[in-house]
Amino acid sequence: MSSKTGPGGHDALNDERTAGETRLNDSVEAYQAAVDDFDRECARVLGVNETDLRCLEILLREVEESSPTDLSDRLGLTTGSVTTMLDRLERAGYLTRAAHPTDRRKSVVRATPRAATRAHELIGPLVDGARSEVLAHFGPEQLDVITDFLDRARDLTRHHIERLRTTEPTRTRTGSTTARG
């Protein structure tokens, strides 16, 4: 592939790539903002906060059941904060806690059928729309490229989440800090 060089040795292919990266960055940021807004509205409709919603998402889509300690690690919260969150979600009827089957010192947390039904009511129309209005416009090879991009972006983001979790919080003028959870 040859490079088109413009006046002053300017590389047109580099300009095109930079413009493409800028458009992609803008689209990813706008998409992320839309997802954040959607999550906020789902949390509002469910009567929970966004961290509670993320906990339910983990239980409904990723692990089916978990220990409070594992949820603490996944969410980057203190165990005390997780206990308070689990109390709220249990009162709302969105999860149950039971004794671990082999270790009575531990407990197992599961989402309830009510949580699954409510989540499906809220998210189902978006998933259906994604199939008909978005995915239908791309061929299998294009979907593979998009999936690869998203997987790589997710892995990079997770790496930087861990980096931020080890970063000291910023102190405010009053000397207080923003605590985890």
Q: What gap in Å lies between CA 41 and CA 49, rounded to an integer?
A: 10
Sole residue written with tokens 């003028």? 173
**DSSP 8-state class, residue 108:** E
Q: Is 116 exposed, middle or buried (0-12, 13-18, 19+ CB in 10 A)?
A: middle
Q: How many residues does the chain have?
A: 181
Contact call for residues 111 and 93 (beta carbons, < 8 A)? no
Q: Which residues of 137-162 are buried (b: 16+ CB within 10 A; e: fewer)?
A: eeeeeeeeeeeeeeeeeeeeeeeeee
Model pLDDT for residues 110-142, shown as the tens digit of each residue: 999 999 999 999 999 999 999 999 999 999 999
Model pLDDT for residues 46-103, shown as the tens digit of each residue: 999 999 999 999 999 988 889 999 999 999 999 999 999 999 999 999 999 998 888 8
Q: Which domains does the chain have, with CATH numbers?
A: 31-134 (1.10.10.10)
Reading the block at residue 17, the tokens are 């790539």
pLDDT band at 9 (very low <50, low <70, confident <90, very high): low
| Helices (runs of H) and strands (runs of E) counted in the chain | 6, 3
111: amino acid identity, one letter: A
Q: What gap in Å lies between CA 33 and CA 11, rounded to an integer?
A: 33
- Which pLDDT does position 77 carry in this prediction? 92
Q: What gap in Å lies between CA 165 and CA 91, rounded to an integer?
A: 29
Sole residue written with tokens 């809220």? 122
* HSE-CB of 131 using CA atoms within 13 angstroms: 5
